[in-house]
């Protein structure tokens, strides 16, 4: 295998593994604000136990996010040096901004969130929780801005020629608010909220099925369901505006999403399979619906893949499948919250065992949706590393050999496999241990007195 | 904006400040990690880990931000150095990953084998990170084979040359000394007297390494000392550095741990300052031809980017200093273990 494919596999693998954790942290951070806020408002110690339990889970996901996140920042330089030289003037400032505006904020207040319970007052602790959540969201802002610039680059010009050609910034805010930033950021954040919400929903349902921590779990289930409800509907809006924006600025990607070859009114597939050599999709479709989605007009033509030379097209079936998987899961989340809210309204939510079981199992689905969405967005950008500007194959490090990358790829694979197993083991044991029981402490006191 | 300012010089200095901040802050927590296995008792080991528990993550942010700043302000330097040191960087990443999870995972299970494994991972990864950063620095001091296309490559076996390893070991010694002093501040009782004993040993270890590196640099790498011939006043920094190191045992003896910690922090800053003076304006000296060296003027981003970044820095730095100071203030004093501790 050559350097290009190995470097792409390594980047994809390390970023996908990394992206298991930040969405959980971002979503949980929002829920921690609710939980701790409820504690401050009501003074009910149940909310304190709930917050402390979820802070421990948060700490675990956060540590994994930190450990795997530094890899990403270094990999631009180690594996994509030519890319880094080419875009550093523009892309680098977004990364530096993430460090100075997000990571310092997040790590500083994280210390108080985790260890500061007895060191600061409850209000200051609550403030720290909010700041950690703000830091986590700001970090998403800057990294998604940087990534969106690779999708829809603006605010720069090219200086120099040949080996010395590079992008230079002319308008910083045009770079930050490039055409896809807002849509992609809101869609990413929404995905993270769903991820955190379903984690809380799943664990709460697990306790309810086991008849443990009943009062606490009912309450946390409802908190999780509220965020899931908001976020799922939010994703419908941001997903739609993302699609419109992709249709406008990255037509080849939009065409690949739906396997759309000829420039004509576009159909929307519910599912299907793309036969690229025959330029044909077999599946269930709604005729004209893609044109409606993009232009509110079923007769308006959508740019097809045949407008692009074959070397400028992304791998179509992969983009198609991951995109449709993400959309289908998005629909599932909406169905899930509709049923959940209906059952809650009828006062049957916690007695409906099948729904509780479904809640436990659904925890994995937001992860699949996030990863699938990421694959469709990034593979859909291919063969460009910066859309219409620099090809992925031209962005590699010139001095790094295939053996080098193979060595590091094997290393990451082994380490990440180990970490993933340990992460699941620890998550499982924390969940099995559960929140501190309200009766625990008095019992201990009685024992001490009895002695 | 910023008319009349030498933005390239400012960014050379700001990158230096970020990396110095990293060396001082993560330096002590790497040092605590390197010394970790010398503590035997489980609750003492927990005190060691919890002494850095609330701060190590923030300390590492200085590295992340330093890396981001080099990427943005000097993209060629970032690209050349990170790809040139590919094997070393990958091993540093392995160290950083294991260290982060070791700190988080260790306390989550009572089993002796579990804890022992993570103790070893924590300690060895701390040593590995310090050793590799130092070794990479040693190579940078000697110069790396940057060619006319701004590319260089250093295989693992040319990475580990004697001078570079010497700088690597010196870095480990420096961080051990720095970490031991930090641990004296955070511990009490029996553990503290044990840690106090290490301070003297690590100072001796460091001074031996430092003198050897200095001699090797003077003899073999005259380009690093040229600036001191032209500007003898810079010798003051070298002198202050020696005084700071000499001051450490004195302060420890008098029980003024914070003053000792300040001295060793100053000493790290002075060492990196001497390095920067020797290198300026270069970030990377080419061992092939001086014209191929990467410097702060020819290999920077555009003036516009340097200006935007300076604005960011001016907005961000007061906040960063405020967070850092408040966290260290909130978690001041001796470590007390509680339910939420590691």
**How much is the pLDDT for B98?**
93
CA–CA separation, B161 and A287 (whole Å) = 67
Tell me how far apart the alpha carbons of residues A30 and A233 are, in angstroms, rounded to a whole number.
17
Q: Supply the DSSP string of A397-447, one letter for each residue.
A: -SS--HHHHHHHHHHHHHHHHHHHHHHHHHHHHHHHH-SPPTTHHHHHHHH
Any bridge partners for residue B73, and if so which? none
Query: Tell me, what's the pLDDT at B268?
Result: 95
Residues B301 and A166: their CA atoms lie apart, in Å, by: 10
Tens of pLDDT, residue by residue over A362-406, are 999 999 999 999 999 999 999 999 998 999 999 999 899 999 999
- Put simply, whether B63 touches A (Cβ < 8 Å) is yes
Chain B residues within 8 A of A100 when measuring between CB atoms? 65, 68, 312-313, 316-317, 320
A132's tokens? 């950690």
Residue B339: inside a domain, yes or no?
no
Residue A39: inside a domain:
yes
- How are the residues of chain B apportioned to helix, strand and coil, as percentages rounded to the nearest 5? 80, 0, 20
DSSP letters along A266-328, please? Answer: PPEEEEEEEETTTTEEEEEEETTHHHHHHHS-TTSEE--GGGS-GGG---HHHHHHHHHHHHH
- State how far the alpha carbon of B231 is from the alpha carbons of A324, B235, B258, B271, in Å: 67, 8, 33, 17
Short-list A71, A146, A17, A41, CA closest to A413: A17
Decide if A168 and B324 are in contact by the 8 Å CB cutoff.
no
Q: Is B301 close to A78, i.e. CB distance below 8 A?
A: no
Q: Give me the pLDDT at residue A439, please.
A: 59
pLDDT of residue B278: 87
In degrees rounded to 5, what are phi and psi of residue A176? -60, -50
In a domain? residue B338 = no
Q: Does A419 touch chain B (CB under 8 A)?
A: yes
Residue A450 has pLDDT above 70, yes or no: no
Would A94 be classed as within a structural domain? yes
Over range A220-229, report the average pLDDT: 95
CA B152 to CA B158: how far, in whole Å?
12
Q: Which domain holds residue B297?
A: 7-330
B312 in contact with A at a CB cutoff of 8 Å? yes
The pLDDT confidence band at residue A49, using thresholds 50, 70 and 90, is very high
DSSP string, B249-271: HHHHHTT-HHHHHHHHHHHHHHH
Residue B282 forms part of a structural domain: yes
At A442 the pLDDT is 42
Instruction: Kindly state whether residue B1 falls inside one of the protein's structural domains.
Output: no
Residue A259, burial from CB neighbour count under 10 angstroms (0-12, 13-18, 19+): buried
Is residue A438 assigned to a domain?
A: yes
Q: Distance (Å) from the C-alpha of residue B81 to the closest C-alpha of chain A?
A: 8
Residue B94: what pLDDT?
95
* C-beta separation of B253 from B304 below 8 A: no
Q: So what's the ipTM on this one?
A: 0.90
Domain count, chain A: 1
Distance CA A103, CA A97 (A): 9
B33: tokens are 């990690």
Mark which residues 78-117 of B lie under 8 Å from A by CB: 78-84, 86-87, 89-90, 93-94, 96-98, 100-101, 103-105, 108-109
Tell me what pLDDT residue A276 has: 85
Query: Which tens digit of pLDDT belongs to each residue from A181-221?
Result: 999 999 999 999 999 999 999 999 999 999 899 899 999 99
Annotate B115-164 with DSSP letters as a single string: HHHHHHHHHHHHHHHHHHHHHHHHHHHH-B---TTS-----HHHHT-HHH
What pLDDT, on a 0 to 100 scale, did the predictor assign at position B224?
82
Domain of A144, in residue numbers: 1-180+381-451
- pLDDT, tens digit, for every residue of A35-46? 999 999 999 999
Asked if B61's CB is within 8 angstroms of A85's CB, the reply is: no
Q: What are the backbone angles phi and psi of residue B301, rounded to the nearest 5°?
A: -75, 180
Residue of B nearest to A163 (CA): B149
- C-beta atoms of B82 and A77 within 8 A: yes
Distance in angstroms (rounded) separating the CA atoms of residues B43 and A47: 30
Average pLDDT, chain A: 91
For the entire predicted model, the pTM comes to 0.92
Give the count of domains, chain B: 1
Chain A residue numbers touching B68 (CB-CB < 8 A)? 73, 92, 95-100
Sign of the CA dihedral running B335, B337, B341, B342? positive
CA distance A323 to chain B (A): 32
Closest CA of chain B from A429, distance in Å: 9
Identify whether A137 is part of a domain: yes
Sequence-ordered list of residues with C-beta below 8 angstroms from that of B205, at least 6 positions apart, any chain: B173, B176, B177
d(C-alpha B97, C-alpha A68), whole Å: 7
pLDDT score, position A76: 94
- pLDDT tier for residue B226 given thresholds of 50, 70 and 90: confident
| Displacement of CA B153 from its chain's centroid (Å) | 23
Q: State the helix-helix crossing angle for A45-79 and B86-106, rounded to 10 degrees.
A: 170
Q: Are B82 and B71 in contact (CB under 8 A)?
A: no
């Amino acid at each position: 295998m050559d350097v290009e494919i190995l470097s792409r596999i390594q980047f994809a693998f390390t970023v996908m593994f990394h992206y298991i954790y930040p969405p959980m942290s971002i979503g949980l951070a929002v829920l921690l604000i609710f939980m701790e806020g409820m504690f401050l408002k009501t003074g009910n110690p149940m909310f304190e136990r709930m917050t402390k339990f979820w802070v421990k889970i948060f700490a675990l996901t956060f540590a994994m996010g930190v450990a795997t996140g530094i890899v990403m920042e270094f990999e631009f330089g180690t594996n994509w040096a030519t890319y880094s030289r080419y875009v550093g003037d523009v892309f680098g400032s977004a990364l530096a901004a993430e460090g100075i505006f997000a990571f310092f904020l997040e790590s500083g207040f994280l210390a108080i969130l985790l260890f500061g319970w007895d060191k600061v007052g409850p209000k200051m602790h609550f403030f720290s929780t909010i700041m950690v959540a703000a830091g986590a969201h700001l970090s998403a802002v800057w990294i998604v801005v940087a990534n969106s610039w690779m999708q829809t680059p603006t605010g720069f010009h090219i200086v120099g020629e040949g080996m010395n050609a590079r992008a230079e910034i002319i308008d910083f805010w045009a770079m930050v608010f490039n055409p896809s930033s807002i849509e992609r950021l809101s869609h990413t954040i929404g995905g993270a909220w769903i991820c955190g919400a379903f984690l809380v929903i799943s664990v709460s349902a697990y306790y309810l099925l086991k008849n443990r921590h009943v009062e606490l779990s009912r309450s946390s289930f409802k908190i999780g369901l509220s965020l899931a409800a908001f976020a799922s509907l939010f994703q419908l809006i941001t997903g739609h505006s993302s699609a419109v924006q992709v249709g406008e600025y990255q037509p080849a990607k939009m065409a690949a999403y739906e396997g759309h070859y000829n420039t004509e009114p576009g159909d929307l597939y519910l599912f299907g399979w793309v036969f690229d050599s025959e330029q044909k999709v077999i599946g269930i479709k709604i005729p004209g619906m893609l044109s409606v989605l993009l232009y509110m007009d079923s007769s308006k033509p959508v740019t097809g893949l045949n407008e692009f030379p074959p070397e400028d097209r992304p791998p179509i079936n992969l983009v198609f499948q991951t995109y449709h998987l993400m959309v289908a899961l998005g629909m599932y989340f909406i169905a899930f919250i509709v049923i959940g809210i209906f059952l809650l309204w009828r006062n049957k939510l916690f007695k409906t065992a099948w729904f509780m079981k479904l809640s436990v199992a659904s925890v994995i689905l937001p992860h699949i949706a996030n990863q699938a969405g990421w694959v469709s967005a990034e593979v859909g950008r291919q063969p460009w590393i910066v859309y219409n500007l620099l090809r992925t194959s031209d962005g590699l490090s010139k001095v790094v050999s295939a053996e080098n990358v193979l060595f590091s790829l094997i290393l990451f694979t082994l380490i990440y496999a180990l970490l993933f197993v340990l992460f699941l083991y620890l998550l499982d044991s924390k969940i099995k241990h559960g929140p501190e029981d309200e009766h625990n402490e008095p019992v201990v006191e009685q024992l001490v007195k009895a002695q | 904006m910023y008319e009349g300012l030498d933005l390239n010089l400012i960014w050379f200095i700001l990158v230096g400040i970020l990396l110095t901040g990293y060396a001082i802050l993560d330096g002590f927590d790497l040092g605590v990690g390197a010394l970790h296995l010398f503590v035997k008792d489980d609750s003492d080991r927990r005190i060691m880990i919890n002494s850095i528990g609330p701060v190590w993550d923030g300390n590492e942010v200085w590295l992340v931000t330093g890396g981001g700043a080099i990427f943005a302000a000097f993209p060629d330097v970032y690209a050349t150095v990170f790809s040139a040191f590919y094997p070393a960087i990958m091993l540093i990443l392995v160290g950083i990953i294991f260290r982060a999870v070791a700190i988080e995972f260790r306390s989550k299970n009572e089993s002796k084998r579990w804890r022992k494994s993570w103790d070893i991972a924590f300690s060895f990864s701390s040593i590995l990170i310090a050793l590799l950063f130092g070794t990479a620095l040693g190579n940078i001091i000697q110069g790396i084979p940057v060619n006319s296309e701004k590319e260089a490559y250093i295989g693992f076996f040319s990475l580990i040359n004697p001078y570079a390893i010497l700088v690597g070991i010196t870095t480990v010694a420096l961080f051990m000394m720095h970490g031991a002093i930090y641990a004296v501040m955070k511990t009490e009782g029996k553990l503290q007297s044990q840690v106090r004993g290490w301070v003297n040993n690590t100072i001796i270890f460091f001074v031996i390494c430092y003198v050897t590196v200095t001699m090797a640099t003077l003899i073999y790498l005259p380009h690093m000392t040229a600036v001191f011939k032209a500007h003898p006043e810079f010798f003051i920094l070298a002198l202050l550095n020696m005084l700071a190191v000499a001051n450490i045992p004195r302060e420890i003896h008098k029980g003024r741990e914070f003053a000792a910690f300040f001295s060793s922090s100053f000493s790290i800053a002075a060492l990196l300052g001497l390095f920067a003076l020797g290198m300026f304006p270069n970030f990377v000296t080419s061992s092939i031809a001086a014209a191929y060296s990467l410097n702060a003027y020819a290999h920077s981003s555009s003036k516009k980017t340097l200006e935007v970044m300076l604005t960011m820095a001016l907005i961000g730095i007061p906040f960063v200093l405020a967070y850092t100071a408040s966290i260290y203030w909130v978690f001041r004093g001796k470590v007390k273990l509680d339910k939420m501790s590691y």
